[in-house]
């Protein structure tokens, strides 16, 4: 009996689709993730979704850029990727690097996890200062990508994307950052804003100037899909991780350290955004599921209404490639929560995901 058969036998029923196991014939969706890992923990959930779907052939994780300055961000990303056997994934740390750790002087509840994950799990990245800059990573990933193929998944501040859009031709590519994005990107998927209008942390908290720059200067030919505060904010995930996680699970420790008071339950902004960035609206069937997300609008575009990047949708019928997401009809926050928890409790030794054998 092969090792993976033993583990499959032990799987809970919900994941045991072995009779339907497919070979990975579809082209995996190439993605680059831009994360603010540090000040909230759902970025770890997002990296789980990306690594698991990478391993089972649905995503091609070309790189992870960090948009917060603490050296522990890039190191924690490396620990998560290494946990899933993906130590080769390129990671880029924002400069200047700091040694900052997280302190919650807002609610006095949440706690530091990035430095702890980075120092308690093995990782291939030894020092954040040896990584490329986010602009270098974006430019080399985009230069190597096929035309209109990349999905950029932004689950934090838009600092790096502003820098990429402003970047000039260099030895990596003779195209400017704007031209590279216009040529190579299929879609920008952004956790940011509130819909149809409101005010949200990723847009407004740290770098609202970058939000304004990116929304104003994004190539009009490249689609944008927004995942708003109201979507992930009403879908809690991480329930019972302490009961059902595999041994030595870094997401269990990260959620325990961050959430506080014995809980591991958090809203699901970043993991849902990453799920959409990989599967789109139509890819859920590849997991044996019916469609779980839908566009909430048919036309229009996002606009900013204040200096701190509050936003409001403009109902312009001439613009048809910008959308915001909602749960599909009949899908509840509990069923999305169930799906995310399947990822959060996934054990890398399983060699399968949702009945699909790994690459």
**Residue ranges that bind ligand NAG, judged by CB under 6 A:** 98-99, 127, 129, 147, 183, 196, 199, 201, 204-205, 234-236, 297, 306, 308, 310, 313, 315, 333-334, 337
Beta-bridged to residue 187, according to DSSP, are: 151, 223
Output the smallest distance, CB 6 to ligand NAG, in A. Answer: 32
C-beta closer to ligand NAG: residue 4 or 326: 326
Task: Measure the CA dihedral 311/193/100/93, to 10°.
Answer: -110
Q: How would you write 321-355 as a 3-class SS string?
A: CEEEEEECCCCCHHHHHHHHHHHHCCCHHHCEECC
C-beta closer to ligand NAG: residue 20 or 320: 320
C-beta closer to ligand NAG: residue 20 or 334: 334
Task: Match 């058969």 to its residue by tokens.
Answer: 5
Output the smallest distance, CB 7 to ligand NAG, in A. Answer: 28
Rounded CA separation 318/118 (Å)? 47
* CA distances in angstroms from 276 to 49, 293, 295, 336, listed in the order given: 10, 8, 11, 12
Output the smallest distance, CB 52 to ligand NAG, in A. Answer: 20
Extract the tokens encoding 256: 């325990």
Output the smallest distance, CB 296 to ligand NAG, in A. Answer: 7
Output the smallest distance, CB 204 to ligand NAG, in A. Answer: 3
Output the smallest distance, CB 343 to ligand NAG, in A. Answer: 15
Output the smallest distance, CB 297 to ligand NAG, in A. Answer: 4
DSSP class per residue in 22-60: ----SPPEEEEEEE-TTS-SHHHHHHHHHHHHHHTTSEE
C-beta closer to ligand NAG: residue 263 or 358: 263
Extract the tokens encoding 299: 């036309």
Radius of gyration of the chain (CA): 19
CA angle 195, 264, 18 (to 5 degrees): 90
C-beta closer to ligand NAG: residue 71 or 82: 71
C-beta closer to ligand NAG: residue 101 or 199: 199
Return the closest-CA partner of residue 152 out of 75, 243, 255, 225.
Answer: 225
266 preceded by a cis bond (ω within 30 of 0): no
Output the smallest distance, CB 247 to ligand NAG, in A. Answer: 26
Query: Sign of torsion, CA 73 74 79 81?
Result: positive
Output the smallest distance, CB 74 to ligand NAG, in A. Answer: 11
C-beta closer to ligand NAG: residue 111 or 335: 335
C-beta closer to ligand NAG: residue 27 or 129: 129
Extract the tokens encoding 183: 């040529």
Output the smallest distance, CB 42 to ligand NAG, in A. Answer: 13
C-beta closer to ligand NAG: residue 186 or 286: 186
Question: SS3 breakdown of the chain: % helix, strand, coil, rounded to 5?
Answer: 40, 20, 40
C-beta closer to ligand NAG: residue 51 or 173: 173
Q: In what order do the strands lie in the sheet with 311-314?
A: 197-198, 311-314, 301-304
Nearest residue to ligand NAG on Cβ basis: 204
């Amino acid at each position: 009996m092969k090792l993976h058969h033993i583990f499959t036998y032990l799987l809970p029923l919900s994941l045991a689709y072995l009779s339907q196991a497919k070979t990975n014939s579809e082209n995996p969706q190439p993605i680059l993730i831009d994360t603010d890992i540090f000040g909230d923990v759902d970025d770890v959930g997002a990296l789980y979704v990306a690594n698991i779907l990478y391993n089972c052939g649905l995503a091609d994780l070309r790189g992870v850029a960090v948009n917060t300055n603490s050296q522990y961000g890039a190191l924690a990303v490396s620990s998560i990727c290494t946990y899933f056997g993906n130590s080769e994934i390129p990671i880029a740390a924002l400069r200047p690097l700091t040694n900052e750790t997280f302190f919650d002087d807002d609610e006095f509840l949440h706690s530091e996890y990035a430095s702890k994950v980075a120092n308690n799990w093995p990782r291939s990245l030894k020092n954040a200062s040896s990584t490329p800059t986010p602009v270098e990573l974006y430019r080399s990933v985009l230069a190597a990508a096929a035309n209109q193929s990349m999905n950029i998944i932004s689950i934090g501040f838009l600092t790096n994307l502003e820098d990429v859009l402003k970047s000039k031709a260099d030895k990596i590519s003779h195209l400017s950052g704007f031209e590279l994005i216009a040529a190579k990107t299929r879609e920008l998927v952004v956790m940011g804003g509130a819909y149809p209008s409101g005010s949200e942390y990723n847009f407004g908290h740290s770098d609202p100037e970058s939000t304004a720059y990116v929304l104003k200067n994004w190539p009009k030919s490249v689609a944008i899909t927004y995942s708003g505060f109201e979507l992930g904010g009403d879908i809690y995930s991480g329930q019972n991780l302490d009961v059902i996680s595999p041994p030595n699970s870094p997401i269990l420790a990260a959620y325990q350290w961050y959430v506080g008071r014995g809980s591991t339950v958090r809203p699901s902004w970043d993991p849902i955004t990453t799920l959409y960035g990989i599967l789109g609206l139509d890819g859920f069937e590849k997991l044996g599921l019916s469609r779980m997300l839908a566009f909430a609008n048919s036309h229009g575009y996002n606009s900013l209404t204040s200096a701190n990047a509050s936003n409001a949708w403009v109902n312009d019928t001439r613009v048809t490639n910008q959308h915001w997401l909602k749960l599909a009809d009949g899908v509840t926050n509990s069923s999305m929560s169930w799906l995310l928890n399947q990822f959060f409790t996934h054990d890398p030794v399983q060699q399968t995901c949702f009945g699909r054998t790994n690459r």
